[in-house]
Amino acid sequence: MTSSRVKIRIGGRGSQLSLAQLDLVAAALSDRAEVEIVSYRTTGDRLSRLDAAMTGKDLFTREIDEALLDGQIDVAVHSLKDVPSRLPEGLVLAAVPPREDPSDVLVSRDGDSFAGLPAGSCIGTSSPRRRAQVLSARPDLEVTDARGNVDTRIRRLREGRWDALVLARAGLARLERLADVTEVLPASWMLPAIGQGALAVVTREGDDRIRGLVAEADHRDSHREALAERALLQLLEAGCRAPVAGLARTRGGRMRLCAAVFAPDGSRSLHEEAEKDSESAVELGFEVARRLLALGAGDLITSSRTDAGA
């Protein structure tokens, strides 16, 4: 008997973490479809993450999105924090699976907590957002670039390149490396990146058959939180160079969005938050962004770009 199961090709980056994320989406679709995974090496993979950030946010997604538009694949899977606030024309955010814990974590070489790190300790991160918040909380620490995949960075930490790293908990969870975590850093002072911990399942706008299929992988609250955070980023026009952080959380049909913009050295920060019905996610993101802009976030973002050499 010929199988009537739909065949679907899902594409993403070929890194160990990205392949783990593709497997998660494939598993969510496997009851209704025969899934083929297609991996790509993107321009961002050929650069360091720091150099990619200096060049453009879509370097980790562009080739995959182009393959989707060209019909080489049916679905693109990205880390949501790598996706520009405006998708390429003809593509839609069709689903956001259940979000992992979006927290940042500390991985320290000698087991010290963040508060317990000696003055002058060297922290590895290439994220302007993490750098700013680390220096805001502990100006006595040194922050230097940390490049490479998770395994490479942790190996270099053990070899003594840094005293500690700041990483996304979600990536470590998906790689089954939570045992490496020394401390989960609270959002009260280490707000995560926009979309951190969430996956973006992207399809062609007019492909209703595939959109209906991937809807099975969608998690309503995670999707709405993603919409709120991305609306914030879109109105701020911050891209990936400015230290911008935000986290939306849903409880009892209400959504609260907390966001902040930082000076690169952590010497100045602007914070705002608001709450709305969860169905008004985009409006919530715009409201918090407008409040931040009224406080001077535009100037802070512009100065961050200047400091980054934009």
Contact 14, 60 (CB under 8 A): no
Same topology between domain 104-185 and domain 220-310: no
Domain ranges of the chain: 1-97+198-218, 104-185, 220-310
What is the pLDDT, as a whole number, of residue 50? 45
CA distance 224 to 308: 31
Q: What is the full per-residue pLDDT of the chain (310 aa) written as tens digits?
A: 445 678 999 999 999 999 999 999 999 999 989 999 999 987 766 655 444 444 456 778 999 999 999 999 999 999 999 998 899 999 999 999 999 999 999 999 999 999 999 999 999 998 999 999 999 999 999 999 998 889 999 999 999 999 999 999 999 999 999 999 999 999 999 999 999 999 999 999 999 999 999 998 999 999 999 999 999 999 998 765 679 999 999 999 999 999 999 999 999 999 999 999 999 999 999 999 999 999 999 999 988 766 654 4
Tell me the whole-structure pTM to 2 decimals.
Answer: 0.91
Name the CATH code of domain 1-97+198-218 (choices 3.40.190.10, 1.10.490.20, 3.60.21.10, 3.20.20.70).
3.40.190.10
By annotation, the residues acting in catalysis are: 82
Contact 243, 61 (CB under 8 A): no
Classify domain 104-185 at the CATH topology level.
Answer: D-Maltodextrin-Binding Protein; domain 2 (3.40.190)
